[in-house]
Structure 1
Amino acid sequence: MNGTTARVNGVDHTNKGLRPLNVLVVGAGIGGLSAAIFLRQQGHHVTLLEQSRFANELGAAVHMAPNATGLLLRMGINLEDLGAVPCKIFSQSLPDGKQMFEVPLWRAAGRWQYPWLLAHRVDLHSQLKKVATAEDGTGAAAILRTSSRVASVGTDGSVTLASGEQLKADVVIGADGVHSKARCGLPGSQGFKPSGSGKSAFRFTMPRSRALDDPLTKPLAEKEGHLNIFMGKDRRVVIYPTRHHELLNFVCIHPTSETEQKDQQADEWQSSADLDKMLDVYKGWNPAVLKILSMADEDTLKVWDLLDMDQLPTWADGQLALIGDAAHPFTPHQGQGAAQAIEDAASLACVLPLGTPLAEIPERLKLYEQCRYKRASQIQEYSRIAGQDLGAGPPLDTSRYTDENFGHDEWHYTSQKLREWLWSRKPSAYRRMPTVFGPFPGPRQDHLGNSRDWSQSTFTTASIKIKTSRTLLQNLLPTSQFKFASADSNCYATFSLSSLGNLEWLGGNGYNHFGLYVHGVEYTKKNGDKVTGTYLPVLFENLADPIISGREELGMPKVYATLDVTKDAGTWKLKAGWMGNQFLDVSLTGLETKTISNGVQGSGPPQIGQEEGLFFHKYIATTAPAGSKERGQADVEYVGIVPNVEEAKAPRQVNSLLVADRAEINFDAMDWKKLPTLHHIVARLAEIPVYEVMEAKVVEGLGASDVRSARRLV
């Protein structure tokens, strides 16, 4: 088809960053306008294509259950401000007027977060249009193009108008109702057309005062917020107030065969109705019902064919998605047609936040379908069941339908499904308690599991390498698979303090860690292979976040302590403590600047000779009651290693090296009262003899490692 090509809202598709999507919404009914509002609130640019001129808007009332009114409030629309009437009483009667039951709904109001309202469709529609297109709303105002009849829609974001004009967008939403043109653009949609359900409905409104002025009909209209249903075997009459209680709304459902018009066009679903015909349909019913029906204004009386359609195989493909009646036409027996269209709109916008990558749009539209397909289809089926003739099936469990219909917040539901979908894209992301919030942001990843940037972090590492007793230190080796590679009575260990700063994962802040690194340790794997490395018995840190992440994600033996570092000309000092009780003094004095060599180590663990990595012992106890056999047993226990070859790849740059001419390490184990959680550790460290200080230095630089190379060693 010949025509011109236009960019929606003139937005350049090459923009980078949190770029708004260009969205075309086909149809500006309740669903389409709701989608426009939610999408503009997400920051996107929306154009609505409406085939009508919006002249002489007509309509009756619309049932707005709590699952819809909550979403409207999220849009900024309070229906009660527009005259919607809270539903306070629900009753059901037989055709002769005998009441079957009456439920005071105010007693159940506390069950639902949002109100159950009886609104006027025109009032709702007008307010949706106002909010969607208002210049002062959140996000860019939606553009409403009236008299824009759509000829065809593609899954590639293309829309062709009947005029020949061609439009292109990132996303196209088919919200064009039961006779949807957009539906035809979905693969597999051929052959899916709405058909009559076998029932039709007379719809009209009248001034409530008209019914109140007649003694016979007054009882049908005098109770405020009364949803009044008269049920016959194959027909029913629904009456309820709206618009500040000034109007009564009527829905009179009956067999289509009794009012079918021979001259009705195949694609028509409403037409003018005959008042006498309506009265004939309900002949023999309670006189009050017949009298109130006879008060209808014939010039506004309409008869609607209640259409239904088989379940579509899909609602979304490529860049096209359907919402509302375009996807799932509803019969009115649950009063959920408009509500489900609004839920669709909320769900669709929820999966498309600002910054959605173009390449993800097809997947995200499929996610919308997954969120909505089962629920909308189930309520669609509930409506069919609720509309069955009396005696055509088992008794209805109306409470079950109400609970499932009303007790749902689609925005909250889809938000969680979007989170789960985003989490699933990083199956190897670190997850730690509490797991329900998804991958845990920390040193190695952001909240979606993406790697952190350590290149601009800073480090200052002070280390003292000592000669000490192999016999004493071997008592700190965790399993029989460990031993010292050398049988010499001397061995070597390093006490090291690193101050890390400008850490992205800590919002530009930093922390300190101090540990004992035992060199020359050999580990024998289950297959007999031997690995030589440095063993880390304990690592003190002064911040909870790195302690928790290091223990849970890596298995490092981390504990808490205050680690206070001071520096002045030629001197570096560390004081470590717990709750004001100082258990460690370390000092390096006589510091002098030295030339930096390639062998200088940065913020990682000290490395010696040909050692392969840093060993650590991971242990997590099982959860069990006191006295049980499981108490004190391990849920997880194994040895891990941080390979030196991987750590060498970390982005580190050494900027300065200071060497000390004197170093001292002094532990004070105190007692259990002063160090109730650390005495057992500090007392053992205090036993370590310093035969000789081999080296003492302070290294400063840029960059660090997140130790993501840590792995299990079997």
Structure 2
Amino acid sequence: MSISNGTFANGTSNGESKPTPLKILIVGAGIGGLSAAIFLRQQGHHVTLLEQSRFANELGAAVHMAPNATGLLLRMGINLEDLGAVPCKILSQSLPDLKPMFEVPLSRSAGRWQHQWLLAHRVDLHSELKKVATAKDGPGSVQLRTSSRVASVGTQGIVNLESGETLEADVVVGADGVHSKSRYALPGSQGIKTFGSGKSAFRFTMPRSRALEDPLTKPLIERDGHLNIFMGKDRRVIVYPTRCNEVLNLNCIHPTSESEAKDQKADDWQSSGNLEKMLEVYKGWHPAILRLLGMADNETLKVWDLLDMDQLPTWTDGRLALIGDAAHPFTPHQGQGAAQAIEDAASLGCVLPAGTPLAEVPERLKLYERCRYERASRIQEYSRLIGKDFGSGPPLDTSRHTDENFGHDEWHHTSQKLRAWQWARKPALYRRMPVTFGPFPGPRQDHFGNARDWKDSSFSTASIKFKTSRTLLQNLLPPGFKFASADTNCYASFSLSSLGNLEWLGGHGYNHFGLYIHGIEYTNENGEKVTGTYLPVLFENLADPIISGREELGMPKVYSSLDVTRVADTWRLTAGWMGNSFLDLSLNGLETKPSPDQVQQSAAPSTVTDEGMIFHKFIPTTGPDGSKERDQADVDYFGFVSYMDEAKTGFRRVERTLTAARAEIKFDALDWKKLPTLHHIVDRLAEIPIEVIEAKLVEGRGGNDLRSVRKLC
């Protein structure tokens, strides 16, 4: 079995093949790159991270970690609250003169979201991601190579470094940010450039105590977990605490034309700001806000341009995939940039579980893109809309955007998409209720579409062939069926098979007992005639084969207990329901006879040869009591299993045949109280007069799964 057929959507193997890890190169070790390394490592792969910096003197500000991201971090083994991240308890928005616009107490609505909304420090998050990614223990491996500047990236697993070194991998992940070099390896991306959104942002952190000590600024920041937004027409200030409520993060978004950055390189967070310039940008705002901004350290104040980019036509090609800002740069107005990079990483890890065949990588990367492209693009557009100048355009339903953002779990989303992709690759998979869980394993195939192995299974079939009333048996045939022979005599069999050591039942077995009417002819609408054995009812003692046989094949199966005993030369069957026995059948004086290599269905002593088995598949329409729908059928046709075709597809070897000196069979229909669901069937079987022609017990190995069944039109 190939791993592609034997791997679950969550990345665990069914144990029939040893997973082979992929070699993966990730360009960029930011939040997205490190997250991807963790998810891919958890799947057992070998990852190399290429980072152009030396990771020295890491700086940064705070970062929103909304519930859609914190849940994925927990899946990585990271709880940001343990690192000092602050739960967001209050969201408020005010005008520049401090006049309130609204306030939402999030502590009372937090139960709406599965995970916490946290206000974390970017450095703390980045450091923990790096720690988890490069830990010695755990599945897979991650090697971090710093000072590794990438010159170019190919779509077939090649990365060229500026040092002249060439690296090869099974998968390359471009996580190299808004100025990505990986991006331009993709077709159609060369003409797409980043551009300024028209806004820039001053950003800085400072001790919260500094603002608490000033009576003018204290009211703005004194509540723990308070995300406070001050909205001007074309500029805004966002303030919130992080690091155990001891550090304040300030983000001051304004028109780019009004600020100047020294040595600024587009979105470089390390570009120096200018305190006097920032205060000038917010001239005329409430003195408390200006006092708060004036507390910034000029030497640590940073400013950067908020960049945007048109949609790429694709994020993947061959064995290259982009994640995070390399694929979809975000303006910060929803605080979803880092979250969407983490979602990308989760999705990518999900579509590349342990044992992913190398040949499937390009198609699986396209699946990752389909899982992520629409959502990330939609949130990009939301961020643009929310970032518009105050009062411009129609009012926005921000709660709808928040609910859509926060209520999503990308791992669960991609897992289902991966399952659907796997199922769609094998359209012939058996499906039955409950269909939402995918293909249903049964006797004909496992969950992955692989045929069952029957060679180690066993069978023991006891049958009584008898001569009986043609008129009575004709009453059990559907309209359009008749006996193929004009002979007055007709023949049928009662037969019980005990099946054991079945792979599809985990080595267990079950019994089935049925009435088989021989020599029946059916002519379809096209004039095609089929002669076979008609099966009006089949009792079985286990739900799994009953459901499988009824839904997949259409056989008329019902439940009963079927207890078989064997003492010396006597074989006995007792059938019943809830302790009430309705059948006692025995073969006595069993004697071994030579047997052929294979056994076919016994033919009645007539000129008619049965070609296979025929049965009626009927499923009623769902509808209320008394409705017209109750008189209609959703499914109503006949099924046919060819003995010749089954002999070609199955494996069956008879090891011993025993003939009975005598056979006895006795039905007791009891009543509706003792057999509330079977009385109408057993009562009819009890009417059949029986003149035994032959009784025998056949034992052997192997079996047939009846996969050759077809519909008689």
Kindly tell me: are residues 100 and 283 of structure 1, through their superposed partners in 2, closer, same or farther at Cα, counting changes over 3 Å? same
What is the rounded CA distance, in whole Å, between the counterparts of 2:551 and 2:395 in structure 1?
54
Which residue in 2 is equivalent to 1:487?
486
What is the rounded CA distance, in whole Å, between the counterparts of 2:225 and 2:288 in structure 1?
19
Residue 143 of structure 2 corresponds to residue 143 of structure 1: yes
What is the rounded CA distance, in whole Å, between the counterparts of 1:130 and 1:606 in structure 2?
71
Which residue in 1 is equivalent to 2:115?
114
Deviation at 1:194, TM superposition (A): 1.5
What is the rounded CA distance, in whole Å, between the counterparts of 2:566 and 2:126 in structure 1?
70
Which residue in 1 is equivalent to 2:312?
312
Which residue in 2 is equivalent to 1:73?
74
Q: Report the AA paired with residue 281 of structure 1.
A: V
What is the rounded CA distance, in whole Å, between the counterparts of 1:489 and 1:260 in structure 2?
107
Which residue in 1 is equivalent to 2:10?
none
What is the rounded CA distance, in whole Å, between the counterparts of 1:703 and 1:151 in structure 2?
61
What is the rounded CA distance, in whole Å, between the counterparts of 1:267 and 1:338 in structure 2?
15
What is the rounded CA distance, in whole Å, between the counterparts of 1:199 and 1:363 in structure 2?
38
Q: How does 1:541-560 map to 2 (within 5 A)?
A: 541-560=540-559
Question: Residue by residue, what CA displacement relative to the aligned partner does 1:516-570 show, whole Å, maximum 9, x if unpaired?
Answer: 1110001111122321111001100000010011111111000111111112322
What is the rounded CA distance, in whole Å, between the counterparts of 2:112 and 2:268 in structure 1?
40
SS of 2:147's equivalent? coil
Question: Residue by residue, what CA displacement relative to the aligned partner does 1:481-501 show, whole Å, maximum 9, x if unpaired?
Answer: 100011222111111111111
What is the rounded CA distance, in whole Å, between the counterparts of 1:325 and 1:465 in structure 2?
76
CA contact (8 A) 1:230 1:238 kept: yes
Report sequence identity in percent.
77
Deviation at 1:345, TM superposition (A): 0.6
Kindly tell me: are residues 451 and 64 of structure 1, through their superposed partners in 2, closer, same or farther at Cα, counting changes over 3 Å? same
SS of 1:344's equivalent? helix
CA contact (8 A) 2:262 2:272 kept: no
What is the rounded CA distance, in whole Å, between the counterparts of 2:206 and 2:264 in structure 1?
26
Which residue in 1 is equivalent to 2:126?
125
CA contact (8 A) 2:347 2:414 kept: yes
What is the rounded CA distance, in whole Å, between the counterparts of 1:606 and 1:580 in structure 2?
33
CA contact (8 A) 1:269 1:306 kept: no
Question: Residue by residue, what CA displacement relative to the aligned partner does 1:250-282 show, whole Å, maximum 9, x if unpaired?
Answer: 101111112244854568565111111111111
Kindly tell me: are residues 95 and 47 of structure 1, through their superposed partners in 2, closer, same or farther at Cα, counting changes over 3 Å? same
Q: Report the AA paired with residue 634 of structure 2.
A: D
Q: How does 1:516-527 map to 2 (within 5 A)?
A: 516-527=515-526
Deviation at 1:688, TM superposition (A): 1.3
**TM-score, length-scaled by structure 2:** 0.95
What is the rounded CA distance, in whole Å, between the counterparts of 2:267 and 2:215 in structure 1?
42
Question: Residue by residue, what CA displacement relative to the aligned partner does 1:603-654 show, whole Å, maximum 9, x if unpaired?
Answer: xx55566322110001111111112222233221111111122111111111
Q: How does 1:347-426 map to 2 (within 5 A)?
A: 347-426=347-426
CA contact (8 A) 2:519 2:609 kept: no
Which residue in 1 is equivalent to 2:711?
712
CA contact (8 A) 2:208 2:245 kept: yes
What is the rounded CA distance, in whole Å, between the counterparts of 1:269 and 1:153 in structure 2?
25
Which residue in 2 is equivalent to 1:451?
451
What is the rounded CA distance, in whole Å, between the counterparts of 2:268 and 2:95 in structure 1?
32
What is the rounded CA distance, in whole Å, between the counterparts of 2:342 and 2:67 in structure 1?
12
CA contact (8 A) 1:668 1:682 kept: yes
Which residue in 2 is equivalent to 1:223?
223
CA contact (8 A) 1:470 1:488 kept: no
Which residue in 2 is equivalent to 1:39?
40
Q: Report the AA paired with residue 255 of structure 1.
A: P
CA contact (8 A) 1:309 1:328 kept: yes
SS of 2:271's equivalent? strand
Q: Report the AA paired with residue 699 of structure 1.
A: V
Deviation at 1:182, TM superposition (A): 1.2
- Which sections of structure 1, spanning at least 5 residues, go unmatched? 1-14
What is the rounded CA distance, in whole Å, between the counterparts of 1:624 and 1:485 in structure 2?
38
What is the rounded CA distance, in whole Å, between the counterparts of 2:598 and 2:140 in structure 1?
58
Q: Report the AA paired with residue 205 of structure 2.
A: T
SS of 1:703's equivalent? strand
Q: How does 1:47-446 map to 2 (within 5 A)?
A: 47-136=48-137, 138-261=138-261, 264-265=264-265, 270-446=270-446
SS of 1:234's equivalent? coil
What is the rounded CA distance, in whole Å, between the counterparts of 2:430 and 2:451 in structure 1?
11
* Structure 1 residue ranges, 4+ long, deviating more than 6 angstroms after superposition: none
C-alpha RMSD of the superposition: 1.6
Q: Report the AA paired with residue 111 of structure 1.
A: R
Question: Residue by residue, what CA displacement relative to the aligned partner does 1:60-113 show, whole Å, maximum 9, x if unpaired?
Answer: 000111111111111111111100011111111111222212111112111101
What is the rounded CA distance, in whole Å, between the counterparts of 1:210 and 1:269 in structure 2?
23
CA contact (8 A) 2:179 2:326 kept: yes
Q: Report the AA paired with residue 444 of structure 1.
A: R
SS of 1:363's equivalent? helix
CA contact (8 A) 1:517 1:606 kept: no
SS of 1:652's equivalent? strand
Deviation at 1:340, TM superposition (A): 0.3
CA contact (8 A) 2:260 2:277 kept: no
CA contact (8 A) 1:91 1:229 kept: yes
Q: Report the AA paired with residue 552 of structure 2.
A: E
SS of 2:562's equivalent? strand
Q: Report the AA paired with residue 99 of structure 1.
A: P
Q: Report the AA paired with residue 348 of structure 1.
A: L
Question: Residue by residue, what CA displacement relative to the aligned partner does 1:411-453 show, whole Å, maximum 9, x if unpaired?
Answer: 1111111111111112222211111111111111222333222
SS of 1:664's equivalent? strand
What is the rounded CA distance, in whole Å, between the counterparts of 2:529 and 2:574 in structure 1?
38
CA contact (8 A) 2:655 2:699 kept: yes
SS of 1:638's equivalent? strand
Q: How does 1:605-616 map to 2 (within 5 A)?
A: 606=602, 610-616=609-615
What is the rounded CA distance, in whole Å, between the counterparts of 1:225 and 1:667 in structure 2?
77
What is the rounded CA distance, in whole Å, between the counterparts of 2:207 and 2:599 in structure 1?
90
What is the rounded CA distance, in whole Å, between the counterparts of 1:251 and 1:90 in structure 2?
15
CA contact (8 A) 2:70 2:115 kept: yes
Kindly tell me: are residues 169 and 193 of structure 1, through their superposed partners in 2, closer, same or farther at Cα, counting changes over 3 Å? same
What is the rounded CA distance, in whole Å, between the counterparts of 2:469 and 2:429 in structure 1?
41
CA contact (8 A) 1:593 1:659 kept: yes
Which residue in 2 is equivalent to 1:590?
589
What is the rounded CA distance, in whole Å, between the counterparts of 1:392 and 1:606 in structure 2?
85
What is the rounded CA distance, in whole Å, between the counterparts of 1:109 and 1:274 in structure 2?
38
SS of 1:447's equivalent? coil
What is the rounded CA distance, in whole Å, between the counterparts of 1:101 and 1:264 in structure 2?
36
What is the rounded CA distance, in whole Å, between the counterparts of 1:585 and 1:550 in structure 2?
25
Deviation at 1:694, TM superposition (A): 2.3
**TM-score, length-scaled by structure 1:** 0.95
Question: Residue by residue, what CA displacement relative to the aligned partner does 1:131-175 show, whole Å, maximum 9, x if unpaired?
Answer: 111123x31331111111111111111212211222221111111
Name the stretch that deviates more: 157-166 or 513-522: 157-166
SS of 1:658's equivalent? strand
What is the rounded CA distance, in whole Å, between the counterparts of 2:399 and 2:598 in structure 1?
75
Q: How does 1:599-610 map to 2 (within 5 A)?
A: 600-601=599-600, 606=602, 610=609
Deviation at 1:240, TM superposition (A): 0.4
What is the rounded CA distance, in whole Å, between the counterparts of 1:17 and 1:104 in structure 2?
52
What is the rounded CA distance, in whole Å, between the counterparts of 2:307 and 2:462 in structure 1?
78
Kindly tell me: are residues 111 and 143 of structure 1, through their superposed partners in 2, closer, same or farther at Cα, counting changes over 3 Å? same
What is the rounded CA distance, in whole Å, between the counterparts of 2:202 and 2:281 in structure 1?
10
**Number of residue pairs the alignment of both structures matches:** 694
What is the rounded CA distance, in whole Å, between the counterparts of 2:501 and 2:136 in structure 1?
42
CA contact (8 A) 1:471 1:489 kept: no
